[in-house]
Amino acid sequence: MKVGCSIQSEHVPTYKEVLFGLPVIELEDYLYTGFADRDAEELPRVKEALQGYGGDIVLNAPYIDLNPGSPERLVIEATRQRFQQAYEFAVALGAKEVISHSTFLPIVYLDFYEEDWISRSIDFWRLYMKIVDPAVTISLVNTFESHPDFLVRIAEAVDRPNFKLTFDLGHYLVYSQVDLAIWLQKFVPHCSTVYVHSNNGKVDTHDEPFKGALRCEDVARVARAVPETARFMAKMSNKGAIAESVAWIRKCIEER
């Protein structure tokens, strides 16, 4: 299993020595507002930062205020435009995967909202996947979900070999209302990547994986369940802890 780290491209030179020793790097640039407005002009700089790197590249898709399941036509148009930009950026970098936050909002307490969101998300992703090269994987990551069922339904309905799910352990710790075993049972057939970060179980603080509520046994349980091809990404905010975080994740995987 490949263990890597997520980082903004502008910080790659600072941590180049440790990053270039990893088998996979995820770029977080699109998570920050404003990047999508200048991504074309940023592309040469990003390519230069990654020059000489021989591992897999993964990319986050934009997510703030974007929602593939929205009933608002203009929101869907903006979402499709931004995701198209991220996909083209990924292709230009030779990235293997683009990971999108699900953007499901569980606090919309309307009877019709959930089923409508699922249906519209399926329609969005079915259409979107028509333009995606089979060599590039697109995946959805759990964000505020209390259980895995909605994302699994979307993955099963889209039914493409390169449409997958990413399991975020930090989000699971905060938002899940069901046991890890249930997530693994339902996510495993679709899982391409695992995000590893920790918190106090109440707030999504993206702490180092070896701190807080996340246990090594949790990572080991996931590693026992997911395909051998799954990538494990250290997703903590403190990039100064890359080496220590990756080493801890590797240790947990070895103990599975």
Model confidence pLDDT, tens digit, residues 138-180: 999 999 999 999 999 999 999 999 999 999 999 999 999 999 9
pLDDT at 108 over 90: no
Round to whole Å and give the CA distance between 126 and 163. Answer: 10
* Residue among 179, 170, 159, 184 nearest 101 (CA): 170
Count CB atoms within 10 A of the CB of residue 148: 22
Quick: pLDDT tens for 81-103.
999 999 999 999 999 999 999 99
pLDDT at 111 over 80: no
Given a contact cutoff of 8 angstroms between Cβ atoms, the answer to whether 73 and 82 are in contact is no
Quick: pLDDT tens for 46-55.
999 999 999 9
Given a contact cutoff of 8 angstroms between Cβ atoms, the answer to whether 29 and 60 are in contact is yes
Count CB atoms within 10 A of the CB of residue 114: 17
Round to whole Å and give the CA distance between 161 and 175. Answer: 28
* Residue among 223, 222, 203 nearest 213 (CA): 203
What is the pLDDT, as a whole number, of residue 112?
Answer: 87
Round to whole Å and give the CA distance between 99 and 139. Answer: 5
Q: What is the pTM of this model?
A: 0.97
